[in-house]
Every structure is written in C-alpha cells, then in structure tokens.
C-alpha cells in the first residue's frame, strides 16, 4: 500500500487527470482555452523562429493532462475515462494542427525546414527523440504518483514538447510539404506513446495497478496483458519509421562531413571559404564565398569523384564577396 504522506492515492490521481466530477465544465473550459492559446503562441513562435516563445507555448499547453488520463485509465481499467481522454487527445491535436494551418495563411513566406530552425528540429524525428520522450515520460508519471516531485512538471512540459510539433504539422501542411507535416506528427505520436508506455510501467512499479484492480485480480491480469501487447505493437509501429529516419539522418551527416572536408581543401587552394554544406533528399548543396574572379570548379569535381561522392547530385553555389571602402571615394 502506498504511503499517503509521500504518494498520491488513486483517487487523487484520478482527480488530477480525469475530466469528470462536479467541476467537469470548468476543467473542459480551462483545457480548451489553454489549448487554443498555446497553439497560437506555438505557431507564432515557430513563424518568428523564437525558441523562447515556443518554450512558453510548451508550458501553457494542457495536452499532458488527457494523455496522462489515458495512461491512468488504461492502468486502472476505467473504460469511460479512457475513451473520454483519448477523444480529448485526438480533438486537441486536430485543433492545434488546424490553428497552425490557419496561421500559415497569414504568413507571406512558406514555413519549412529549409529556412526555419524551429521546423527543422521537429520534422525528422529519430530514435534519440524516442529516448528523450521515454525519459520525460517516466518523470511525468512519477510526478503523478509522488507528491514530493510535482514541481518538476513544468520541466516535463518543456522536455516532452506536445503542441509545437502539431503547430509545425499545420504550418508545413499549409506551406505544401506533406512529408514535413507527417514528420512532425510522427514526433507528436512518439511523445504520446512514450508517455503512456512509461506511465504503465511506472504505475506497475509503484503498485498502482495492483491497488486499483485487486477486487478483480484475474480480469486485471488479462487486461494488463492486453495493454502490454498493445503498447508493444505501438512501440514497434513508431520505432520502425524512427529507425529509418535515424539511419537517413546519419547517412546524410556522413555525406555532408565527407563533402565538407573535400570542399574545404579545395576552397583553401583557391582562396575561398566554405559557408555551408547541406543535404536535401539525396542532393548535396555546397555554398562557398570568396573574392573575384570566380574559380573553376573542375578540380573540386575531380576531388569529389575521387572521394567516392556522386557529383551528379552535388550543386555548388559560388558567392563572390568583395568590399568597397566608401571613405576612399
């Protein structure tokens, strides 16, 4: 049995994450008000490429509550609250995406990963994002159980990042990039699955599952078996695309490093400098700056070929840089 001096009871946990009881109307109004505001704040922060604004949206966002409600309802076998919490998660996510899409109409330029750091950080999730989500999910679940670490919840809200990926999904979809929109949605789903999965484990470790289901021990065992099976399938479903994305990110990084080394050596020989080396799909873009005249790139092509790099997918942008001293004119 849980020590009530240090741990929340099941009743307390239910009251903190479920949308029921006598104050249900105020809980719903608070949820939707904060969700809409956080979605607008996140969209504005992403468009303005402002990390501080996006962090503010993370703190305001209320989506953690129904997600934790889904986890707790799964653990204690509360079908009504499970459905209610799931519907809130889905409806809230759809609303945030719609708000991001609407904000995109007000922006002149496309909001895409190529020109926005907030977008690029959220459209290519990998296994490292799953690892981070698992860690923050554990902290969030422990904070629900234990009274003495509830002050960590703002940090969990920042680390788990729920509304910003949804805003990115809407903004990039409006900008015409379905692939980037799906990548942002994958990050959101990864975070949700991690919270629920780690929550079930944490609740089992603390004995919440046993306490909540003792009257129906046999049924509880079968129910938890189905839950574990479902969570395993969910982790596999999100793990496969995350693994593919991670492999792609690693492969692009290796190519960029190889191209950068070759380009740097060539640039030094002609008195120019490498500004950036980036990849987009299978194409590589090299941007160099230097004084006139523009150097011949035949030697660069030969060196890239010798390094085993497919130069048919390489584009070189040469940007002449020269200074004019106005005081001499």
Mean of the per-residue pLDDT values for the chain? 86
Q: Is pLDDT of 145 > 90?
A: no
Give the whole-number percent of the chain exceeding pLDDT 90.
49
Q: How confident is the model at residue 160 (pLDDT cuts 50, 70, 90)?
A: confident
Q: Which of 1-5, 83-87, 321-325 has the highest mean pLDDT?
A: 83-87
Closest to 31 measured CA to CA, from 84, 109, 75, 110: 84
Cα angle 243, 248, 252 (rounded to 5 degrees) comes to 150
- What are the tokens at 94? 């759809």
Give the DSSP H or E segment for 317: strand 314-320
pLDDT of residue 200 exceeding 70: yes
- Those residues whose C-beta lies under 8 Å from the C-beta of residue 233, and which sit 6 or more positions away, are none
Closest CA to 283 of 306, 311, 264, 308: 311
Which structure tokens are listed for 156?
């969990």
Question: Above 60 in pLDDT, residue 212?
Answer: no
Per-residue pLDDT averaged across 291-298, rounded? 91
**3-class DSSP state of 42:** helix
pLDDT at residue 222 is higher than 60: no
**Cβ–Cβ contacts within 10 Å for residue 275, how many?**
15
Is the distance from CB of 119 to CB of 46 less than 8 angstroms? Answer: yes
* Model pTM score: 0.81
Are 168 and 183 in contact by the 8 Å Cβ rule? The answer is: no
pLDDT at residue 89 is higher than 90: yes
pLDDT tens for residues 232-278? 887 888 888 888 888 888 888 899 999 999 999 999 999 999 999 98
Return d(Cα 327, Cα 329) in angstroms, integer: 6
Q: Is the pLDDT of residue 328 over 70?
A: no
DSSP one-letter code for 19: S
User: Which band of pLDDT confidence, cut at 50, 70 and 90, is reported for residue 188?
Assistant: very high
Q: How far is CA 251 from the centre of its chain?
A: 21
* Reported confidence tier of residue 154, pLDDT bands at 50, 70, 90: low
How much is the pLDDT for 220? 47
Task: Place 164 in a pLDDT band, splitting at 50, 70 and 90.
Answer: very high
The rounded Cα 37 to chain-centroid distance in angstroms is 19
């Amino acid at each position: 049995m849980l020590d009530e001096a240090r741990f929340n009871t099941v009743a307390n946990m239910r009251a903190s994450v479920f949308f029921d009881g006598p104050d249900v109307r105020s809980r719903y109004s608070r949820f939707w008000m904060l969700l809409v505001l956080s979605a607008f704040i996140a969209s504005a922060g992403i468009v303005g490429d402002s990390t501080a604004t996006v962090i503010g949206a993370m703190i305001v966002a209320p989506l953690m509550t129904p997600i934790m409600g889904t986890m707790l309802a799964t653990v204690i076998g509360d079908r009504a609250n499970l459905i209610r919490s799931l519907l809130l998660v889905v409806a809230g996510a759809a609303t945030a995406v719609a708000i991001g899409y609407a904000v995109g109409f007000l922006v002149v330029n496309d909001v895409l990963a190529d020109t926005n750091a907030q977008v690029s950080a959220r459209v290519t999730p990998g296994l490292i994002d799953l690892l981070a989500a698992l860690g923050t999910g554990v902290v969030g679940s422990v904070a629900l159980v234990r009274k003495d670490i509830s002050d960590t919840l703002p940090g969990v809200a920042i680390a788990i990042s729920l509304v910003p990926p949804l805003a990115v999904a809407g903004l990039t979809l409006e900008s015409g990039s379905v692939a980037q929109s799906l990548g942002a949605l994958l990050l959101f789903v990864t975070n949700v699955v991690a919270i629920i999965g780690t929550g079930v484990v944490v609740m089992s470790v603390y004995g919440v599952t046993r306490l909540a289901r003792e009257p129906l021990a046999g049924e509880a065992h079968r129910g938890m078996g189905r839950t574990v099976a479902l969570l395993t399938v969910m982790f596999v479903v999100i793990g496969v695309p995350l693994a593919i994305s991670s492999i792609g990110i690693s492969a692009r990084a290796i190519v960029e490093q190889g191209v950068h080394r070759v380009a740097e050596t060539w640039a030094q020989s002609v008195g120019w400098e490498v500004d950036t080396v980036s990849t987009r799909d299978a194409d590589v873009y090299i941007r160099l700056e230097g004084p006139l005249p523009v150097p011949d790139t035949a030697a660069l092509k030969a060196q890239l070929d010798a390094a085993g790099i497919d130069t048919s997918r390489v584009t070189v942008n040469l940007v002449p840089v020269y200074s004019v001293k106005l005081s001499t004119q």
